[in-house]
Amino acid sequence: TAQIINGQEIAAKKRLEIAEKVEELKRQGVTPGLAVILVGNNHASQTYVKSKEKACKELGMYSLLIEMPEEITEEKLLAKIDELNADPEIHGILVQLPLPKQIDERKVIESISPLKDVDGFHPINIGRMMTGQNAFLPCTPYGIMVLLEESGISVSGKHVVVVGRSNIVGKPVGQLFLNQHATVTYCHSRTKDLAFHTKQADILIAAVGIPNFIKAEHVKNGAVVIDVGINRNEFGKLCGDVAFDEVSGKAGAITPVPKGVGPMTITMLMYNTLKSAAETLDRK
């Protein structure tokens, strides 16, 4: 049976390293600061924002939570972002998505200074990532790369099949694998004969958002399977996109849900905030 890739453990190790670097920066007079903007009362968003605040505090960073009502105008939100763009105590700005429908999400993302875009969603950071320049990498894809690195799984020359092509997970994770010399195939909702493609994967990434979607029949013997999904099954239980029990009997290594990719996402957000703060010193 498969090696279980323990995201909880790897995240804890990375967070220790980050906490040490935060202390070092503080000694140089810079406290990394993250501003999180939460609009409205979406329950899942509230939970995510709370974990981000908690992680900041645990790592000795400054955390600023800005809550805005559901009916806020786009203009007021953009004005708040401008203010944070200019605030020297803030190194990272994150607007929790989704936003209410009166607000243009693209416009909001593009209003964040690329130097403070710790989510890595700004087109400038995406372009820099694509061309292999220094960039803030999107947190979930970046977390996946760190999981593999820490598990001693090499990427160069491997065939990576990504199922899902969202802007926040599927597309960028394929790009990061390409940057590390993998051969990359993307599959999505219109892919014909999905199993034909996924069965060729040395490393299979499932970012679909459908509970237990990837079955043993989709997986090659010994493949590495990374499950990005965070779903609820018909009993309300948390589960991934991969049918863990049957796939773990066939895969070489697999991430569980929870305690797989999930804990890495916030960890990389903290890392990006630290990186941003450190770069303000480099620019001085």
DSSP 8-state secondary structure symbol assigned to residue 155: -
CB of 160 to ligand NAD, least distance (A): 15
Between 209 and 252, name the residue whose CB sits nearer to ligand NAD.
Answer: 209
CB of 207 to ligand NAD, least distance (A): 4
Report residue 169 as tokens. 């997970």
Candidates 169, 173, 182, 219; binder of ligand NAD (CB under 6 A) is 169
Q: What is the DSSP string of 140-154?
A: HHHHHHHHHHHTT--
Cα 101 from Cα 76, distance rounded (Å): 15
Candidates 189, 221, 245, 283; binder of ligand NAD (CB under 6 A) is 189
Candidates 198, 265, 267, 276; binder of ligand NAD (CB under 6 A) is 265
From the candidates 14, 80, 116, 119, which is the catalytic residue?
119
Contacts (Cβ under 8 Å, ≥6 apart) of 273 = 32, 33, 34, 56, 61, 91, 92, 118
In three-state secondary structure terms, 91 is: coil
Q: Which ranges of the chain would DSSP assign to H, the alpha helix?
A: 7-27, 43-58, 74-85, 105-111, 123-130, 139-150, 170-179, 194-198, 244-248, 262-282
Cα 165 from Cα 174, distance rounded (Å): 9
Between 45 and 231, name the residue whose CB sits nearer to ligand NAD.
Answer: 231
271 burial type by CB count under 10 A (0-12 exposed, 13-18 middle, 19+ buried): buried
Cα 126 from Cα 136, distance rounded (Å): 8
The answer to whether residue 259 is catalytic is no
Report residue 179 as tokens. 């940057």
From the candidates 96, 202, 227, 250, which is the catalytic residue?
96
CB of 145 to ligand NAD, least distance (A): 14
Q: Is 231 in the site for ligand NAD (CB under 6 A)?
A: yes
Report residue 274 as tokens. 């630290």
Total residues binding ligand NAD (CB under 6 A): 23
Candidates 194, 219, 247, 270; binder of ligand NAD (CB under 6 A) is 194
- Has 151 been labeled as part of a binding site? no
In this chain, which stretch among 19-27, 174-182, 189-197, 275-283 interacts with ligand NAD, using CB under 6 A? 189-197
Between 30 and 162, name the residue whose CB sits nearer to ligand NAD.
Answer: 162
Between 87 and 104, name the residue whose CB sits nearer to ligand NAD.
Answer: 104
Interaction with ligand NAD in 40-99: which residues (CB under 6 A)?
A: none
Q: Which amino acid type is present at position 174?
A: G
End-to-end CA distance of the chain: 52
Interaction with ligand NAD in 97-156: which residues (CB under 6 A)?
A: 140
Annotated binding-site positions for NADP(+): 164-166, 230
For ligand NAD, the binding residues (CB under 6 A) are 140, 163-166, 168-170, 187-189, 191, 194, 207-209, 228-231, 261-262, 265
Catalytic amino acids?
52, 96, 119
